[in-house]
Amino acid sequence: MADTATTAPVAAASAASASSDAPPFQLGKPRFQQTSFYGRFRHFLDIIDPRTLFVTERRLREAVQLLEDYKHGTLRPGVTNEQLWSAQKIKQAILHPDTNEKIFMPFRMSGYIPFGTPIVVGLLLPNQTLASTIFWQWLNQSHNACVNYANRNATKPSPASKFIQGYLGAVISAVSIAVGLNVLVQKANKFTPATRLLIQRFVPFPAVGPAGDGADASGPAHAHPGATPDHHVHAGEIETSQLEPEIARATSSRTVVYNKGL
């Protein structure tokens, strides 16, 4: 009995300590400070956390209800900041903020690494045939296009032709560059077999880079501001008139620059 009585306060103190470590909850705001690299790094880790792929339907409903209660001031006593941050993380990982519909698991930001890694491995396979090169480049760009579309800004409807145009441009660009470079390397007699193989291993990288601009023709991702599904970071430019009104009013510039990619 004495051990039980001693353990209960210790457990309660530990729970209180864990809760106090969490910053005060702010609905719709990032949990970590965005003014430092470490804060932005932890924010991105939260976005791509694959554990949210295993959240049950019941847990999702509980998270959504908890945030609704907070929003309407009907939150039950005893709910901690940690619980609120966790609920927001789950909701943002699974539901699109504009449509409030579930994002298909392979196209969520939290699913980008688990579902995208096999594609990257396929791109880097040695001694690929023409057919396998085309297949992996097509699959990679198709996956990117689907992630872009699933996380699109749904507040400003865009014609389907715009997405199709960007998708076809990305696929054609990636396949053309990959196949072209492979053919050039194979015909280069000055390279030893080992050098030729090494160069071919890096062919997917220049093929994926320019194709990313074609895939982004559908517009920057919106479900997770600051995170768009590409393999590298590069800058894009957009006219202020194409931004959401509240963002456009914050600047007098005609065009703004934004980061595309993780």
Q: Write out the two tokens for 2.
A: 């004495």
Residue 202, SS3?
coil
Q: How does residue 223 score in pLDDT terms, banded at 50, 70 and 90? A: low
Q: What mean pLDDT do residues 131-149 have?
A: 92
Pairwise CA distance, residues 224 & 221, whole Å: 7
DSSP string, 146-160: HHHHHTS-TTS---H
Bigger pLDDT: 182 or 69?
Answer: 69
pLDDT reading at 211 higher than 70? no
Pick from 154-163, 166-175, 203-212: least confident: 203-212
Instruction: Name every residue whose Cβ is closer than 8 Å to that of residue 214 and which is 6 or more positions away in sequence.
Output: 166, 167, 168, 169, 170, 172, 173
Per-residue confidence (pLDDT) for residue 155, from 0 to 100: 82
Query: Among 221, 215, 219, 181, which Cα is nearest to 201's?
Result: 181
Bigger pLDDT: 51 or 154?
Answer: 51
Taking the whole predicted model, whether its pTM rises above 0.85 is answered as: no
Q: Where exactly are the structural domains of the chain?
A: 18-94, 131-260
